[in-house]
Amino acid sequence: MQVMDIFVSAPGKAILHGEHAVVHGKVALAVSLNLRTYLHLKGTTTGNVSINLPNIDTFLCYDLSELKQLIPNSCGKMEEVKRLDAELVRRLREFIGVTNGNLDTCNMATLSFLYIYLSLFGSSELPSLTVSVWSELPTAAGLGSSAAYSVCLAAALLCASGAIPAPLKEGDHTARWCQQDLERINSWAFQGEMIIHGNPSGVDNAVGTWGGMLRFLAGKIIPLSRVPLLRILLTNTKVPRSTKVLVARVKDKINKFPTVMTPVLDSVDALSCTCEKVLSEMTCEPITGEHYNILEELIDINQHHLNVMGVGHPSLDTLCRVTLAKGLHSKLTGAGGGGCGITLLRPETDSSVVQTTVQDLKDCGFDCWETSIGGLGVQQHSPLSVKEEVLDILNSY
């Protein structure tokens, strides 16, 4: 079986508004980050399948004859997504030595890759191939790095198996799949996320697939057709946190003070809807300073709400204080309790202000990037359209 040479990428995600309130039936807005995960799938003649993850210094190689033994007899080639195959997952966990349930980043990435690979090719001829992945996203920071990885895997392996066509035509630099193929990519990426996270919401892989902005309410994910490209600073405080603990903390506070906290959740819901309305206006009429004034006020209000919910942290207070000193407005994104925050940059914000702010945040011990939100979802690349430094890494394996 001849397997194509394919480059794909998918974006990370940030929660613009609605953290924690979404768990309680309120609206959340998720947006794509212009920080991407890149994947190169290359056919080989080695009789092996290998995966290279230089971000975490990992190189793994498996013999195809051993992998074939792991496929349950009932597992044929599955181009359409079915329920997660618990027996295949069990066999793969045993194969890579993680039967105790503790998965580190390397094991999660390996398990997700092998599951999608074996599910898509099934008991037919397993192709020899090498998959190399490089990400601009930090791992375990609440920025959807695992989902971007799963989306890239799904897109590349679906193309390699012939389940969907490669959209890139001769002479193109980048290309996107049609809606039907994107839905298939998203479904398989969700399978990868289930393996990694157990019970994911589906928001992260949907952002990685469609990009732009998504409205999430009561389990329903609605991609918004148009969204303005907004400049931001993305800051990683590098303070570790447990999403599970933070979600439980908010729930406890709501149970303890229902008459106090219910209006807070309602306010966050209204805030998300107001933000969505403003962003929609910015795509169909001239963008004004007033649009940015409103977005900045909403950011400040939301950050105060999140502190009231109990998911703030001194490191996030520092982020807000440092950026406000430069006239910039920030809030946490994700679960809170540390982790990451976003800072809105106006179009007229001078580069010197951005540079000094980034340096001030780095002086606090944080990592900081200037990027944007609202970019494209998963896409196929020609090698010419991949950043040179990324291409060098992907081609070095």
Are 282 and 298 members of one domain? Answer: yes
User: What pLDDT is stored for residue 22 in this prediction?
Assistant: 81
- Mark whether 161 is an active-site residue: no
Q: What is the CATH number of the domain that holds 290?
A: 3.30.70.890
User: What pLDDT is stored for residue 79 in this prediction?
Assistant: 55
Are 240 and 221 members of one domain? Answer: no
Catalytic residue among 9, 145, 146, 161: 146
pLDDT band at 82 (very low <50, low <70, confident <90, very high): low
User: What pLDDT is stored for residue 123 in this prediction?
Assistant: 63
Are 255 and 106 members of one domain? Answer: no
Q: What mean pLDDT, rounded, does the chain reach?
A: 91
pLDDT in tens, 187-213: 999 999 998 888 788 899 999 999 999
- Whether the pLDDT of residue 20 is over 60: the answer is yes
Are 279 and 366 members of one domain? Answer: yes
- Mean pLDDT over 67-88 rounds to 75
Calpha distance 256→5 (Å, rounded): 56
Helix (H, G, I), strand (E, B) or coil at 55: helix
Q: Which of 294, 306, 304, 374 is nearest to 337 (CA)?
A: 306
Q: For the chain, what percent of residues have pLDDT higher than 90?
A: 70
- Whether the pLDDT of residue 312 is over 90: the answer is yes
Q: Is 364 exposed, middle or buried (0-12, 13-18, 19+ CB in 10 A)?
A: middle
- Whether the pLDDT of residue 375 is over 80: the answer is yes
Are 216 and 299 members of one domain? Answer: no
Are 185 and 258 members of one domain? Answer: no
Q: Which of 265, 333, 304 is nearest to 23 (CA)?
A: 265
Spell out the SS3 assignment of 157-188: HHHHHCCCCCCCCCCCCEECCCHHHHHHHHHH
Q: For the chain, what percent of residues have pLDDT higher than 70?
A: 95
Are 14 and 139 members of one domain? Answer: yes
- Mark whether 63 is an active-site residue: no
| Helix residue ranges per DSSP H, 325-394 | 351-363, 388-394
Are 344 and 294 members of one domain? Answer: yes
pLDDT in tens, 317-366: 999 999 999 999 999 998 899 999 999 999 999 999 999 999 999 999 99
Q: What is the CATH number of the domain that holds 133?
A: 3.30.230.10
User: What pLDDT is stored for residue 190 in this prediction?
Assistant: 94
How many domains does the structure of the chain reveal? 2
Q: Is 89 exposed, middle or buried (0-12, 13-18, 19+ CB in 10 A)?
A: middle
Residue with the bigger pLDDT between 231 and 101: it is 231
- Mean pLDDT over 248-265 rounds to 94
Q: Which domain holds residue 52?
A: 5-226+376-396
- Mean pLDDT over 279-295 rounds to 93
- Mean pLDDT over 169-175 rounds to 93
Catalytic residue among 9, 204, 269, 330: 204
Are 216 and 266 members of one domain? Answer: no
